[in-house]
Amino acid sequence: MNNQDKLKKLVDLRAEAKLGGGEKRIAKQHSQGKMTARERIDILLDEGSFEELDMFVTHRCTNFGMEKTKFLGDGVVTGHGTIDGRVVYVYATDFTVFGGSLSETLAQKICKVMDMAMNVGAPVIGINDSGGARIQEGVGSLAGYSEIFQRNIMASGVIPQITAIFGPCAGGAVYSPALTDFIMMTEENSYMFLTGPKVVKTVTGEDISVADLGGADVHASKSGVSQFKVENEEEGLLLIRKLMSYLPQNNLEEAPLEETNDPIERVEDSLNSIIPDNANKPYDMMEVIHSVADNGEFLEVHRNYAKNIIVGFCRMGGQSVGVVANQPSFLAGVLDCDASRKAARFVRFCDAFNIPILTLVDVPGFLPGSGQEYAGVITHGAKLLFAYGEATVPKVTVTLRKSYGGAHIVMSCKQLRGDFNYAWPTAEIAVMGAEGAIEVIEGRNIAALEGEEAQLKYAEEKINEYEEKFSNPYNAASFGYIDDVIEPRNTRFRVIRAFETLQTKKQSNPLKKHSNIPL
């Protein structure tokens, strides 16, 4: 074979590898509204930046006649490229090859790019469209999953890890996405579950569809497994690109800083009147976030889950910032099990990757009831408390209205090493609301009075007295627990100035193997 023949062979093999399982299977993939692995990578990465690795790898299985059928690449496309000029490593399972099922060699390909990403300190993005373990390989496939999981664990908090679920993801395969930082699912074709509908029916007798058991809606709103739900794959891939713009390459880098044309000193007069005079009336915290963020842009995370708390990313003065905010327009912004878990995980992610945290507080307390207590609200609330107390990144807290009891503590209070704790003049910082407090403090005295009118008058006087003392931020400010009371319209300027001041902050935790966060 001469050199020209050798070159032709290379070209032909590359063309064969790029066809994956062949044109018929690609056509079937398209007919189901799904892209191929390579089409997904082309949208995700900067044009022309993808460098593929291990294109010629094939499986080594000889069980059940598997040696007769081999495809170049063996069901996963791996390599590296750039997003907005920044290096990322990617892998995308190819459903046209053995249903994207995981073989020993497929796992080795994924592990190789994960190892490379760790060596150079670059994010890993996985695109999952797989039928699960390749049954013909038995324990070899299970070992492959385990190798991937171990790398997910080692990479956690070192490099960002993002997973897109663009097809099936079932059984043990779900644990790699679950170990990553962010999961994205599409409305039509995505599903995740440990045991499928047939097994559920056999074991429990429950009849349930794939979508109701593990679809995007379920995991985005009920289980909280998925942080993002998108209409289609293209929207999801572009959203990953946007998400990456807020994240550093690794845990040794600072959060991204971009130029902005939005003036730091911009005032927002609407904030001076956003808090209703009636303390029991809601307002939309999203309006506050959009008002203080650069150009009003905010990327919400976990939008459909635990809506009583908001988490996500924005820029302030060009600086990438993580936002945690109670949402008074949903369940009055109360904290519960789900909201505590959601916020705690987000705070820990921001702390791991040097992203400053802005906390906007309007919280009446923890949701009462046996359902919450039985679900472990004590432990879940402690997660949020732990996350804030452990975090060493710059932390700025602004209390807008209510901040009561234990919920006040867990929302980045001064004693949890809050760097700057501001309050609006409308802030109410106390153990509990006025009516509940007077019932406890003055209950016996009220009951001892004769006549309902006398009791109501006395109770009203005491409630007014309590409100005068605590329905403002000045009592907390007198102890130094609030650093300053600020005019709402100046919030953007004061917060950005605080973060600028904190750019050189250095804080560390005691030397330890690792903490024992209340799980």
Q: Is 323 helix (H, G, I), strand (E, B) or coil?
A: strand
Residues 218, 191: Cα–Cα separation, whole Å: 9
The catalytically annotated residue of 121, 405, 406, 436 is 406
Give the residue from 256, 284, 279, 267 showing the smallest Cα distance to 354: 256
The catalytically annotated residue of 171, 312, 365, 418 is 171
The catalytically annotated residue of 343, 407, 427, 437 is 407
Reported in sequence order, the residue ranges of 437-476 that DSSP labels E, i.e. its strands, are: none
The residue written with tokens 């569809």 in the block is 209
Q: Are strands 168-170 and 182-186 parallel, antiparallel or unpaired?
A: unpaired
**Residue 85 annotated to the active site:** no
For the chain, helix (H) and strand (E) counts, in that order, are: 19, 17
Instruction: Please give the DSSP secondary-structure letter assigned to residue 489.
Output: G
475-483: list long-range contacts, CB under 8 Å, 24+ apart.
475/429, 476/423, 476/427, 476/429, 477/423, 480/414, 481/413, 481/414, 481/415, 481/421, 481/429, 482/399, 482/414, 482/421, 482/422, 482/423, 482/427, 482/429, 483/414, 483/420, 483/421, 483/422
Reported in sequence order, the residue ranges of 306-363 that DSSP labels E, i.e. its strands, are: 309-316, 319-326, 357-363
**For residue 9, how many C-alpha atoms fall within 13 Å in the half-sphere facing its CB?**
7
**Residue 171 annotated to the active site:** yes
Radius of gyration of the chain (CA): 27
Q: Which residues contact 378 (CB under 8 A, 6 or more apart)?
A: none
Residues 317, 497: Cα–Cα separation, whole Å: 9
The residue written with tokens 């064969």 in the block is 16
Residues 30, 148: Cα–Cα separation, whole Å: 28
Q: How far is CA 81 from CA 95, 333, 446, in A?
A: 22, 42, 72
The catalytically annotated residue of 172, 196, 376, 436 is 172
**Residue 448 annotated to the active site:** no
Phi, psi of 465 (to 5 degrees): -65, -45
**Residue 343 annotated to the active site:** no
Tell me the catalytic residues. 171-172, 406-407
